[in-house]
Amino acid sequence: MPASMDSMRRSSVRFLIGLLLIRFYWCSGVGDEGAAFPVVVSTWPFREAVRAAWRVVSASEGGGSAIDAVVAGCSACEELRCDGTVGPGGSPDENGETTLDALVMNGATMEIGAVAAMRYVRDGIKAAKLVMEHTEHTLLVGEKATAFAISMGLPGPTNLSSPESIEKWEKWRQNYCQPNFWKNVVPVGECGPYRPINLASVEVEDSVKNEVDGNQDGLCQGYYESDNLLEPIKSYSKIVNRHNHDTISMAVIDKMGHIAVGTSTNGATFKIPGRVGDGPIPGASSYGDDEVGACGATGDGDIMMRFLPW
């Protein structure tokens, strides 16, 4: 092997080891003597969210808990609709509807609360905290998550769409629902309904329609009308940048050295309705443990869930 090539490979290995050590020290070290607590860390430059969490955790009268700080920080991002990817009013799905995913985790007790594909309630992170505090479950989804959140005192039901999100959706529809998240289906380059390649369209649609009608007693009437907002429409190119990362992930260490993490998102833009991303999945979006540390990330949630990178 040429000396220059060997030197380059050694340099690459040292660089990789350095990155791993940086990640290790960022993710650990809780409880070391002399450690400076509290700490608030957030993905992306969501400064107002960090400030909201800091105000809670650094209060002069003892300071608030890490959990309360995470909820305050993520709530601020939901209210501000950070980058249009957090809270109501952004990231419409294929039906033009905005839904929410959120998670909160207590690193002292390892308790987790989460909601996914939640409709009609604006406070995703608060709903997740209610799941953690008042149930023995980890994750509630869809309209049942909505009903739970409202029964526990959160405001709703309310429309989570905004003029901006609807305008974005309408332009996408005018572009033949491209790009979208479908694969191995027809029609290609158009709006749905879609079917698997080589499967008879009429047979599939009639079969599904009969099954829906038979089980729902007509409640889903109009689902197949072409001008219905609930029409299946939909495939998506995955270009990740600061405007489509789809979540805030936050980690807090309070004055007692306890850790909490949280995530909140309105999900991937033009996602297939019912899709759940990494946001409410422990270990995919964020994870915290008092004995180890905390990590969080944003990105392609469907990939991150396959590897649970933390």
Question: Does 85 show up as a binding residue in the annotation?
Answer: no
The span from the CA of 125 to the CA of 116, in Å, is 11
Question: Does 269 show up as a binding residue in the annotation?
Answer: no
Question: Does 218 show up as a binding residue in the annotation?
Answer: no
Is 247 among the residues known to form the active site?
yes
> Which one of 85, 99, 146, 247 is the catalytic residue?
247
Instruction: Kindly write down the DSSP assignment for every residue of the chain, as one continuous string.
Output: --HHHHHHHHHHHHHHHHHHHHHHHHH--TT-TT----EEEESTT-HHHHHHHHHHHT-SSS---HHHHHHHHHHHHHHHTGGGTSSTTS---TTS---EEEEEEETTT--EEEEEEE-S-S-HHHHHHHHHHH-S-SEEEHHHHHHHHHHTT---------HHHHHHHHHHHHTTT-S-S--SEESSSS----EETTS-HHHHHHHHHHHHHHHHTTTTTTTT-TT-TTS----------TTS---EEEEEE-TTS-EEEEEEE--STTPPTT---STTSBTTTEEEETTTEEEE--S-HHHHHHH---
Question: Does 14 show up as a binding residue in the annotation?
Answer: no
Instruction: Kindly write down the DSSP assignment for every residue of 71-95, as one continuous string.
Output: HHHHHHHHHHTGGGTSSTTS---TT
Question: Does 252 show up as a binding residue in the annotation?
Answer: no
Question: Does 55 show up as a binding residue in the annotation?
Answer: no
* CB contact at 8 A, 267 and 99: yes
Output the known binding site: 275-278, 298-301
Output the known binding site for substrate: 275-278, 298-301
Q: Which residues participate in catalysis according to the annotation?
A: 247
